Amino acid sequence: MRRMRRALPALFALGCGETISADATPVKVTRPSELIEDSEANEVRAAIAGTFSMPWWRDGPQQHPEVWSIDGDTLTRWDGAKEAAADLVIVAPCLAKVKWPGGHFTYEEFVIDGETVWFGEEGGRTHGGRTVICTSQGVWVLDDHGCRSWKPGVFAAHPSGLNPTDTSCTITEAGGFEADGKRWPKQGDVFFRADFAKRQPKPPVRFASLADAKAALAR
């Protein structure tokens, strides 16, 4: 999946390809308890920790891979020429909020499938009785209390920048997830969007270190 980012004043969107400008009203970065508990956030943080070769380039008209190295609440990005560190907060079991150098931040969706982390892919899984789906349009949660969705809201009072609303979603007879006219069939233990296809030969590759990833990307 190819991704690009541009800083657009006073413009926001949720997804792996958009940014929220530094010109927007500042939003305090915090963990929204409605979406994830501290213990689960720690589990997710551990699952996505490591160094990965990512299949997209985030700035400019050209499209090339880059490297992400995740350690706790820090994401170090290397784009082939320069290295920069960003603050990372887990806001849902399949979504992270990243504050990049320069003041803008993005929401980064991912699907954890065993030892594999599909960054930039929309989907999720069932966690402790809750099914949580993360997409470029928002987050859906289905549990015993019903279905709720969280959408981006830069100017919202909610400190995460995401607003919860009641909506309709369901688990189908085939085991898939449906909400707002969209479908996420279940594949093994996880859900992927209905049009999901491995557009890249394989998921992001894990490396033993940032140095190893840089060397591999340079070849």
For every one of its 219 residues, what pLDDT tens digit does the chain have, with 9 covering 90 and above?
A: 434 333 322 223 334 433 333 344 433 334 445 788 888 999 999 999 999 988 665 555 566 678 999 999 999 998 888 899 999 999 899 999 889 888 888 888 899 998 889 888 899 999 878 999 998 678 999 999 899 998 876 555 565 667 788 999 999 999 999 998 889 999 889 999 877 655 444 677 889 999 998 888 777
Please state, in angstroms and as integers, the Cα–Cα distance from residue 118 to each residue in 34, 60, 85, 137, 152, following that order: 24, 23, 21, 17, 22
Determine the 3-state secondary structure of 31 from DSSP.
Answer: coil
The closest alpha carbon to 54, from 69, 44, 43, belongs to: 69
Q: Where are the domains of the chain?
A: 38-218
The position carrying tokens 């990307």 is: 217
Encoded tokens for 214:
């840089």
pTM (2 d.p.) = 0.78
- How many C-beta neighbours within 10 Å does residue 194 have? 12
**HSE-up of 9 (CA within 13 Å, CB side)?**
0
